Structure 1
């Protein structure tokens, strides 16, 4: 007998070896029909996989898990690649993964795909689905795998095979005449895809390296129901109107320049002003809560990163300056602030009375992201972050983590992001030990501590194995952008490792040296990413307290400009961010332009206002409010700003 334990804790016994699909039919025909793949003893498997021994089994569907969706979308990416090989036979295949939002495939072709090409490709994809081709998995030796790809002249696949470890199982998937190097899992046949669409195309460097050849990338999406695709397209169209990458440029918040490079946005005056407001707000609140401000270098010798573990665990994501094989001192731009802030702690011997020590810094960081991963302000190569590190005694840990989360909640509520937040408890993967520092016991302990704190706070969270930092578990606070993609904007991490690495100690009540616990945290996360979320949350119409321009004064005629300037001076005296439009244009045109700029308040200044020492107030939210004394308007807007009204 073979015992199969299911995710819900129940167990079923089977008398002989059967496939996962056959087993799912034993549970219900509905489950078997909806299933896309399975997780067997923690590994993703096709439904055709044969259950041969006792195991833990979780049957995945499109609706019940991201991995279930990914199997569906990965099959869709192969269908797209097959369609392109049929239409453009000389195309070379690169990679075509499922993502958290759909799928893409990179192709080496001598021209960009046109809109007409994409229509033909989509039609061919639908034909392949209608053919309902059986999808089969097979394995080859390294020698035979390379030979097969050489016959097909798939140079990128050969490179991928050569990069695989010697003991790797090299698997392929076949559907009709199409064969692709792939570890799976995949659906049973192409006909299982019910609704599919090409979304867009772009360029991407092979393996995200700008030194490599530029490839053509096509993005797509697929669903089990046509109604789901229709709903997705409607949401997508609405999302495009709020897309920060579009709105941020239209509102002159930021721009990018090709010859500066990908992932290196230029913050224009209005965008820089919003970031300044956010940074001052965070730093002021952190100071009230006992944080100590540091200012540390942007780069350091490799020695620092070797000591912290970043050199071993994070080097591929760092910008290295120099060649460690040729030069004595090799430097790197910092990807994190923690090893730098630890030096503030190490500046002198600490006592238990000194703790907790809370360090904060508005840090500029650098991470060598793949070119294909970058998007607007959400994923960039240089960014600013509200970083902080707390050095605490074990008995202070719970209270300090709660304090970090309380600060995060304050800012999230203030920015109107609270409702869109989700929480992920990111744990280590014990089957991938080389990714992490420390012992099994240390990891189990630190995870239990953080989990206990989250449970005590009654935070609803999901658990994700393999997403922890290399030195400790973390709470990832995520926010969905307008396209439905969840991005981590804030983290809180509990670390029992780096205090030992840096020999950080304090003297306890008995005179013994003890290691502190490190809490890594951000209050508002990456400012650029947070700005992107705020742009999309408010469709560019920032709350008055955050708007780069809070008031625009519109003069009706030339003889009103002097009075308009007096109004401007009075508002500026109270710290209001104000602009004056004194152009000789029709007032309706000026109002329309200010509305497009999403400015919270317009003050109309004409003959009547000049004589009565008033202003005509027009609100972005409420339209024409009417005449007000300058003092009354000032009282109104100052109160609105002070209360952080949304």
Structure 2
């Protein structure tokens, strides 16, 4: 396949992404109407041709063009014509976001190829090391992420300064494959998806249920120490509630369609806050009641597009570590930073060493559409967040035009043990919805005042958090979080009674354990426990029965023979109680 062949009238360049780049192609469909795709052999030929082009040291020449010339230049490329029309007629960029500056149409030309692109570029192809880039995969991708649009073929690639950097990155990708949470979740019997249930709706297996309970137990413990009250709310509500809060105006496209019963329209809840607002408003409040912190692990439902669903990372049913803090303006900074401190404590527990806190702000062009139309309050609350973070000596970066519709927020990005980035949690300021819901309290002066509401979810959702932890730990959860703490393995059937006795003692001590009394040989049982990443394997035979001991094999391969049972129990209880990351 020649390079000129793949520069079809139906190709689309997309800006670089982290650690790489991609390019979309519409190759048409086969006789059955299915999108045609690149073969692995085609990918190799494309990569070979790219190296030849790089060796030519062709300059990248930038120029700006007018709408008429742009439409003529790309008259056979429907996708680019759509982009051009969006820029010129609607000030909409390639992602569908409104831009406030005057749109500029620009191209880059390299040898005989000219493409619509904003740039910037290197000076010429000679600056690209031919041994430091590689095409990785081909994947299907809907045009503009909309499943109602055409399915394109997306070629992913990566480029680095040196061959060694490329090699290191490829090694990281191989490690990431081993840590893929979808594979580990299936292999470790944590969760599954089923076509009859529906996409994006995970089924939690017993092992997953245990991890969820441990995470929820951690959150309840941490929040209990910080004065949170726990509440529970239903999974659906009348449309009037979501109309009042503004969610139907700003969030309807992410909500499941309504169901009508007895002439009343109901929606599955996409978030818990409207219900918590009702709980706040269930009685009169005074400044003495504030701050009021309402926490709930509520299940929410969002209709994520099919093309955006990804394992546990993007789902349609989610259990959120949710809470809403109602406070006065004077209490804001202490409460806001209390949430940030909770993030940092969780990072310590899970061994997260790299993170970034992003202050997501509004953009004035979105007022009245994407955002609540109240510019003074946007500026005020954004400055309140800046000051709180600065006063708390917590580093942050600002990201414009990514706020919630009702106020600014801190979004938390974390990195796993192998350096992959995840979006985890949020701490949102809501200056708008409490007023829409007529929430108020009597302040110290005896006057009615509208509270500020903080929406926060330090552990995000069970789904995304467990997906992250599966990769972060490579399935080797710390002891306290492991679905099974210990497995007792008899050398032969004559030791089954003793193995069962040991397992019962461990369960009495609140250690999750079972005795493997199946017909397999001892080595096969050990291998199976290792595959399931059980932290401790307790082998028992004649010597252990005689001395009331165990032979301990840890998941990391270390061993200890002749260990008294109670000494092992005490050690494991300590690991669990302290939520230690040590084995």
TM-score, scaled relative to structure 1: 0.79
In structure 1, C-alpha distance between the alignment counterparts of 2:62 and 2:156, rounded to whole Å: 24
Map of 2:471 onto structure 1: 536
Task: Tell me, yes or no, if the aligned pair for 2:442 and 2:448 is still in contact at 8 Å.
Answer: yes
Q: 1:106 aligns with which of 21, 24, 32?
A: 24
Q: 1:134 aligns with which of 52, 57, 60?
A: 60
2:351 counterpart of 1:416 = yes
- Structure 2 matches for 1:124-273, cutoff 5 A? 124-131=49-56, 132-141=58-67, 145=70, 148-150=73-75, 152=76, 154-161=77-84, 166-168=89-91, 169=103, 171=105, 173-175=107-109, 176-194=111-129, 195-257=132-194, 260-273=197-210
Distance change >3 Å, CA 644–CA 134, structure 1 → 2: closer
SS of corresponding position for 1:166: helix
Distance change >3 Å, CA 267–CA 133, structure 1 → 2: farther
Q: Which runs of 5+ in 1 are unaligned?
A: 1-82
Distance change >3 Å, CA 478–CA 253, structure 1 → 2: same
SS of corresponding position for 1:524: coil
Distance change >3 Å, CA 465–CA 163, structure 1 → 2: closer
Which 4+ stretches in 1 moved above 6 angstroms?
none
The more displaced of 366-375 and 270-279 is: 366-375
Distance change >3 Å, CA 163–CA 272, structure 1 → 2: farther
How far residue 370 of structure 1 moved from its aligned partner, in angstroms, is 4.0
Q: Deviations over 1:247-287 (max 9, x none)?
A: 33322222334565543333322122111211122123323
In structure 2, C-alpha distance between the alignment counterparts of 1:499 and 1:189, rounded to whole Å: 55
2:221 counterpart of 1:284 = yes
In structure 1, C-alpha distance between the alignment counterparts of 2:565 and 2:186, rounded to whole Å: 33
Task: Tell me, yes or no, if the aligned pair for 2:426 and 2:460 is still in contact at 8 Å.
Answer: yes
Task: Tell me, yes or no, if the aligned pair for 1:208 and 1:372 is still in contact at 8 Å.
Answer: yes
Distance change >3 Å, CA 197–CA 319, structure 1 → 2: farther
SS of corresponding position for 2:479: coil
Higher relative contact order (CA 8 A, sep 6+): 2
Distance change >3 Å, CA 162–CA 438, structure 1 → 2: closer
Distance change >3 Å, CA 242–CA 465, structure 1 → 2: same
In structure 1, C-alpha distance between the alignment counterparts of 2:310 and 2:153, rounded to whole Å: 17
SS of corresponding position for 2:105: strand
Map of 1:62 onto structure 2: none
2:427 counterpart of 1:492 = yes
> What CA RMSD, in Å, does the superposition of the two structures yield over aligned residues?
2.9
How far residue 385 of structure 1 moved from its aligned partner, in angstroms, is 1.4
How far residue 294 of structure 1 moved from its aligned partner, in angstroms, is 1.9
How far residue 517 of structure 1 moved from its aligned partner, in angstroms, is 1.1
2:380 counterpart of 1:445 = yes
Q: Deviations over 1:303-359 (max 9, x none)?
A: 333332333333333333369xxx986544333221221110111221111111100
Task: Tell me, yes or no, if the aligned pair for 1:438 and 1:471 is still in contact at 8 Å.
Answer: no
- Structure 2 matches for 1:394-409, cutoff 5 A? 394-409=329-344
Q: Which runs of 5+ in 2 are unaligned?
A: 30-35, 92-102
The more displaced of 408-417 and 452-461 is: 408-417
How far residue 561 of structure 1 moved from its aligned partner, in angstroms, is 1.5
How far residue 162 of structure 1 moved from its aligned partner, in angstroms, is 5.4
Map of 1:43 onto structure 2: none
SS of corresponding position for 2:458: strand
In structure 2, C-alpha distance between the alignment counterparts of 1:347 and 1:545, rounded to whole Å: 39
Map of 1:587 onto structure 2: 522
Map of 2:32 onto structure 1: none
- Structure 2 matches for 1:362-441, cutoff 5 A? 362-417=297-352, 419-430=353-364, 432-433=366-367, 434-441=369-376
SS of corresponding position for 1:545: helix
In structure 2, C-alpha distance between the alignment counterparts of 1:135 and 1:340, rounded to whole Å: 57
SS of corresponding position for 1:645: coil
How far residue 508 of structure 1 moved from its aligned partner, in angstroms, is 1.7
TM-score, scaled relative to structure 2: 0.87
SS of corresponding position for 1:469: coil
In structure 2, C-alpha distance between the alignment counterparts of 1:525 and 1:296, rounded to whole Å: 18
